[in-house]
Amino acid sequence: MARTKGYPEALEKKLADTRLYEDERHPEFTKTVEKISMTIPHMCFQCGTCTASCPSAPRSSYRIRKFVRRSLLGLEDEALTDPDLWLCTTCYSCTDRCPRDIAPTDVIMAMRNLAFKRDIIPVNFLKTVQAIYTTGHGVPNNDVNRAARKKLGMHPDPPTTHRHPQYIKGIQYILDYFELKKNADRIVKEREG
């Protein structure tokens, strides 16, 4: 603090050394991402078709092209700690149009997996895990929906675990097998107490 002599803290951030140093690069990160995603981010030539196709980019700071570049260079920390990683809607428009036939969406999914291993994940994603565990749905049915369905002449609950709650057990088995629920509960507890 002494150095900024009362200037706003932001200045220190502004004046920080932002150069890319070789020791930030982890070539094995590129390989790990390629293995999980089963696609080829190292072939990216940065044309921007992905970002331009992205429904998230125009209204957020999420830049899919930047993440593919980070996976190409092996910038593990920069990629995994960037909260933008969680702004992909997984619509797959970028994958449809990529001229180098990369699946950028799958690159994002792979990096999310790697981030989760380091407990880097927004709480709302974990709440979704908990919702799936208890109801079988990421977005469970509610009374408004039920009323609307009735009005349209449909059964109030869709023919899923909502109507057949006996199958929730199977879903819970899968989530338990990968310890997803356990980890979700643990992290939520750590963050929210």
CB atoms within 10 A of CB 168: 18
111 burial level (CB within 10 Å; 0-12, 13-18, 19+): buried
CB atoms within 10 A of CB 139: 10
Which residues does 146 contact at the CB level (< 8 Å), separation at least 6? 156, 157
Question: Considering the complex, what minimum distance in angstroms separates the CB of residue 93 from other proteins?
Answer: 8
Residue type, 113: N
CB nearer to other proteins: pick between 57 and 121: 57
Question: Considering the complex, what minimum distance in angstroms separates the CB of residue 94 from other proteins?
Answer: 8
Question: Considering the complex, what minimum distance in angstroms separates the CB of residue 50 from other proteins?
Answer: 8
CB nearer to other proteins: pick between 94 and 111: 94
For residue 62, the number of C-alpha atoms closer than 13 Å in the C-beta half-sphere is 22
Which residues in this chain contact other proteins in the complex, by CB under 8 A?
43, 45-54, 57-58, 63, 65-66, 93, 97-101
CB 185 within 8 A of CB 130: yes
CB nearer to other proteins: pick between 65 and 181: 65
Question: Considering the complex, what minimum distance in angstroms separates the CB of residue 63 from other proteins?
Answer: 6
Question: Considering the complex, what minimum distance in angstroms separates the CB of residue 109 from other proteins?
Answer: 20
Q: Distance between CA atoms of 2 and 6, rounded to whole angstroms?
A: 8
